[in-house]
Structure 1
């Protein structure tokens, strides 16, 4: 076909009405510039767009051609254009289409276009008059034009004609052998499926004068084969099942020639022919489809060369498929690694469930779903998170392993893809109103061979059924999700055990062992930074009598109430622990003894004022507490010294009548009285052992001494 005629025919397509078209041909010759592309025909709608396009495409046309696929580009600040590389009758060609712009106008671009003396704003009405398009629209135009070019290989008969059988020229000699060898060489360097098919079909048509050519290739799930007309036939010819494929192929790699009638004609009614010769596309015992030539009498030598070409084509298609699979697996691995990093940042189970469900739904464009986990007894299941439905209502549902769709998946451990819940014999149920489509996917969440739950997804955004590819992608992600769920549960369990090891199970306060470690840390920090630190020991008065009279349950409740009072009286930075029995210890970092006395009085008063269960049955009719206060550094510099000082102060509070606060003596006061008995002393000498003044008087004296 002459190049001008080719452009004229393409320009007649409605989708190209607003585009300028230019055809480039690889320049022949032996000079240095040979091999580059030159314009050989053009149909210009807009000169300005054509000029901008020429500067952009011509410089890199060799690169575009080597890529072998249509390219859509944005250039000049706002213009769109496409380039389609192809080979026709041995010529390397590139078709460039331009003449549309994106919706927004770039004024800087206009200034650049007007740099030869024009005014940028004078170009504005002109540019505004150009047709607008999106990148996706231009991409779709380029793909449709590519498909049309593929059908132009040679001037085609109308596909509704039924010509006599064509006869290949005899003999098939060196020229045919050379053409096939050239095609085989080109196949080695091609990187796309469409390019591979185009090379083979073009060689068959031009070398062996084939009247009509079609190719059957498997779909993405390899359950059926799409048949495409490549020359002299409609592009979309139909779909064949695996069983129907047997009608077209002979065992092994042999060609098969049959009359086009009966079941053959019924399977592909769009094809009008008399005779069909098929060459199987088979690589490594994998059936990839077939190459069909209609109404052409092929001599043995021609059939042999075409068989070689079909074998090479199958091998290349298989290699491209493996490359694509590896690329997808690599991309999936990278994506899963990225998702792993995201999920590893989550340490809350609820947030993890939410993230897993959101990621899974995004992977396959689902709009509804849920995560179900199997109970520890292995009988029931609980919905832990939902998408597209109310979680609180979902959690009330009674679910059992083995019952319903999700229960069946939980029991068998096998994933389930359902295209129509009403027609699928495995489920056979009426569709529920809340689901917009009848397709769903259920994936077991497994750790090794143990099923821990089920991931359910339904209602694809486009309402089409889920595919096998969706199932495979979700299965890969489900393995990761299961590991993340286990990890989070293990972390929470370890945190719980760690918490149990440092806390008192009754009150929830820290225990004595943790107190010692934490207080030593605070003492070291206070010493380094020159800070005060005060500890308060709190002991409930006559608690043994209370426990005996009111019972152990009331005693436990009283201890928990006391713990809450102490915690509410302290800052977040303070530390409180159950030291043993009815005795508690509070650590106040950065707090002087005078400041701690205020806190101690608040604790004493709150305990005295609180109504404890059954306290009216004890002799004093109420439960109170005695408190001892000691500070770093004046009363001690180590854990043992401070605890000893506060314990002595607490003892003095008990000895002075209980329900009061006593501050520990200074080191000098301790030295003066070590020779005396520590037990019964006259009331007048108690001031030598510990300050037992009225709280307000003590506080006033302490504040005055600081000033």
Structure 2
């Protein structure tokens, strides 16, 4: 019969666990025992031994766990609990030499504290919550996952201790070596167990949905086979140049960055899959790690190296190394697949996002709004606070800022830059993007950081159409002041290609509109030209004919304009034409069309307007021109620059473009013949016409009645509904 364990052996078990599992350093450990002589139903667990770091939390844990240890034992698996509104603890049941034990670990807390539960627990333990609360805040914090990892590690170590104790008992009772056949059977069982672990791992790892889950499965399997090992991994960073080091088991989580040039320190031919001393080169590469032995396994798939996994302080046999190699290879294959899926998801997501942004940019109304939208989207994509868009001028030698974020635009627009000079100028010249994380230390730029920038990092992307650079997109100052990454560069490059297309599209449309305007407008006055007027009159004649509406044409000519040009010069004549155009346009409605017919002649189309209404409008225009002060006009025969106007209406004066223009031209000629500076209607009675050279005729009773009935405001109001129909 095996000897019973005494108190000193209980203490030794706790001491051994604390040394073997380094993550137990912050935990209180309490061991409870139920003798095998106790009845099977509802066994009673009594205190055996403890290793206490914090007496207060340990006392509260004893009140919480000691009453129900039998149920934990019946579950036969490690349990993790959150209790008292703040604390974490675990219970591990096990059997040693036919005695039942429960190991309780406590002394760490959650980051959040539930005061109501804490108060209830403190009352059960006879402690005042107000005195307890400050003490709880001093306890080390942990997450559920961290406590679960510690519990699993302790459970494995207890299993090892129990197995060692069982083996020691067997040796004591039967010192003779077992038969050779039984040894062979044990070896076969061990091999079968390892194969089962590998098979289970490969089955589970194929279902892992993340890098973290894949590595966690690998760690769980390896530490099950080699409980005392410490594990670290190096995974390729986003920049594709460096490797991020992380502790997976028994080591700090963050171990820094390993340059690709240092991979050989761990993965040289003589070190891969072979246990070697943890030498000085390894210590220099990872100064945070203290170890004596290292065995490294490459994480790779289809020739693509993703990093490596190392076991520290674990002397692996060749068979052990082969098993771990199979596990790491399975993990590497799954990691490569997950990275490929993530890349495809990012590409799909980016395509969808760019499609959405395309729709946004297509609905932008103006060029300035487009620049603003592009810069806002780019800054939002990279979470940048400042930026600008620069476009190369037509000469190809300079560029100017068209929009800014975080910088005063009108000041920036006054700062043209030479292509090839400065950071943006070099990007415009070479067509290559530039990511700078320290403008003062980067040898490519080597410049003093300007005060308006909070960080020294910036990113410049060329705006290209095919191979032609049309400008540069600049961003700086991430919200968290972090440097720009290769992922930022790839994202912004994809968007910059879209932005370039939208800018080119807008510039082409703008140029098209400008050419179209040049083809239908007069370059001096900005009014429509004769060709456009003809098409508009024909459109309105067709509409008026179908809808039974009126339509009137005003034909206006400046009096003695050739004399004015001769006296005052052509520059003054051009200015007089522009001011006359402004007067006519300012008098008419938006729906009316006015054109420079040629020389000093102007023609206006008034849809939906009768002759009587048009006469009032024509008289208003004539009077405003007469009252306008033109330089040098006192030298003209009438002592001022004036205008004569002829008026013709559809349908009474003609039903075609040619007929109406001819009728209004005849009326204009009559106005000139009557002495100029007057308005004459086509087909007006001879009595209404003054003899040539005489003063302008007084309005007839009919015209006076029309003038009283239709003032200018009522003319605008009366034709408003017609404008809406148009």
2:618 corresponds in structure 1 to 600
Distance in 1, Cα, partners of 2:676 & 2:388: 60
* Distance in 1 (alpha carbons) for counterparts of 2:700 and 2:493: 72
Q: Contact 2:654 / 2:663 at 8 angstroms: preserved in 1?
A: yes
The within-5 A match list for 1:567-586 is 567-586=585-604
In 2, the alpha carbon distance for the partners of 1:526 and 1:418 equals 67
Q: C-alpha distance in 1, partners of 2:375/2:687?
A: 75
Secondary structure, counterpart of 2:265 in structure 1: coil
Aligned to 1:416: 434
**Is the CA contact (8 Å cut-off) linking 2:401 and 2:416 kept in structure 1?**
no
Mean Cα displacement is larger for which, 406-415 or 697-706? Answer: 697-706
Q: TM-score, normalised by structure 1?
A: 0.74
Q: 1:466 to 1:384 in 2, by over 3 A?
A: same
What residue is the counterpart of 1:303 in the other structure? 321
Give distance in 1, aligned partners of 2:345 and 2:146. Answer: 25
Alignment check: 8 A CA contact 1:258 1:277 kept: yes
Seen in structure 2, the aligned counterparts of structure 1 residues 256 and 475 have a Cα distance that, compared at 3 Å, is farther
Aligned counterpart, 1:146? 145
**Could you tell me how far apart the structure 2 residues matched to 1:544 and 1:500 are?**
26
SS in 1 for 2:626: helix
What are the within-5 Å matches in structure 2 for residues 161-310 of structure 1?
Answer: 172-209=190-227, 211-251=229-269, 254-310=272-328
Instruction: State whether residues 400 and 413 of structure 2, in contact with CA within 8 Å, keep that contact through their aligned partners in structure 1.
Output: yes
Residues 593-644 of structure 1 deviation map (CA, whole Å, 9 limit, x = unaligned): 1111111111111222223333333333332221111222322333223222
> Deviation per CA, 1:362-393, whole angstroms, max 9, x where unpaired?
11111111111111111112111111121122
Task: Name the CA distance, whole Å, in 1 between partners of 2:682 and 2:53.
Answer: 101
Q: Is 1:155 the equivalent of 2:154?
A: yes
* Counterpart residue number, 2:627: 609
1:64 aligned partner: none
Change in Cα spacing, 1:152 to 1:244, as seen in structure 2 (3 Å) is: farther
Q: For residues 526 and 45 of structure 1, do their structure 2 counterparts lie closer, same or farther at Cα, with a shift above 3 Å needed?
A: farther
Cα deviation digits, residues 388-414 of structure 1 (max 9, x gap):
121122122242111111111111111
User: Is the Cα–Cα contact under 8 Å of residues 276 and 295 in structure 1 kept in the other structure?
Assistant: yes
Residues 1:694 and 2:693 are matched in the alignment: no
How far apart are 1:304 and its partner, in Å? 1.8
1:627 — aligned with what?
645
Provide, for residues 420-476 of structure 1, a one-character-per-residue CA deviation record: whole Å limited to 9, x for no partner: 111111111111111111111111111111111111111111122222222222111
Over residues 571-613 of structure 1, what are the superposed CA-to-partner deviations in whole Å (9 max), with x where a residue is unaligned? 2221101122221111112222111111111111122222333
Distance in 1 between residues matched to 2:585 and 2:554, nearest whole Å: 13
Please give the secondary structure, in 2, of the residue aligned with 1:296. Answer: coil
In 2, are the aligned partners of 1:608 and 1:625 still within 8 Å (CA)? yes
What displacement does 1:527 show? 3.3
Structure-2 residue corresponding to 1:658: 676
Structure 1 pair 572–100 and aligned structure 2 pair: CA distance change class (3 A): farther
Query: Cα offset for 1:46?
Result: 7.0
Aligned partners of 2:465 and 2:84: how far apart in 1?
Answer: 64
Distance 1:249 1:685, change over 3 A: closer
Contact 2:653–2:659 at 8 Å: present in 1 too? yes
CA RMSD of aligned residues (A): 3.8
Task: Show structure 1 runs of 5+ residues with no match.
Answer: 23-37, 48-96, 102-130, 132-140, 159-168, 670-682
Per the alignment, residue 136 of structure 1 pairs with none
Matched length:
572
Distance 2:615 2:420 in 1: 65
Q: Which residue of 2 aligns with 1:378?
A: 396
Q: Find the residue that maps to 1:410 and give its secondary structure.
A: helix
2: CA distance between counterparts of 1:597 and 1:424? 76
Question: In the TM superposition, what whole-angstrom CA distance separates every residue of 1:180-225 from its partner, at most 9, and x where no partner exists?
Answer: 0111111111111111111112111213445222222122223322
From 417, 433, 446, give the equivalent of 1:428.
446
- Name the SS for the 2:564 alignment partner: helix
Structure 1 residues 331-386: Cα deviation after superposition (integer angstroms, max 9, x where no partner): 11111111111111113121111111111111111111111111111111211111
TM-score by length of 2: 0.72
Q: In the superposition, relative to structure 1, how do residues 543 and 238 fare at CA in structure 2: closer, same or farther (>3 Å)? A: closer
Matched residue, 2:530: 512
Q: What is the alpha-carbon distance in structure 2 between the residues aligned to residue 237 and residue 170 of structure 1?
A: 38
Shift of 1:496: 0.4
- Give the conservation status (yes or no) of the 8 Å contact 1:636–1:642: yes
Matches of 1:256 and 1:173, distance apart in 2: 20
Kindly indicate whether residue 481 of structure 2 is the aligned counterpart of residue 459 of structure 1: no
Which residue of structure 2 lines up, in the alignment, with residue 364 of structure 1?
Answer: 382
Are 1:152 and 1:231, in contact at CA under 8 Å, matched by a contact in 2?
Answer: no
What is the match of residue 48 of structure 2?
Answer: none
Tell me if 1:327 matches 2:326: no
Report deviation, 1:549.
4.3
Q: Is residue 2:413 matched to residue 1:395?
A: yes
Whole-angstrom CA distance in 2 between matches of 1:438 and 1:703: 74
CA change 1:99–1:572 in 2 (3 A) is same
Name the CA shift for 1:307/1:442 in 2 (closer, same or farther; >3 Å). same
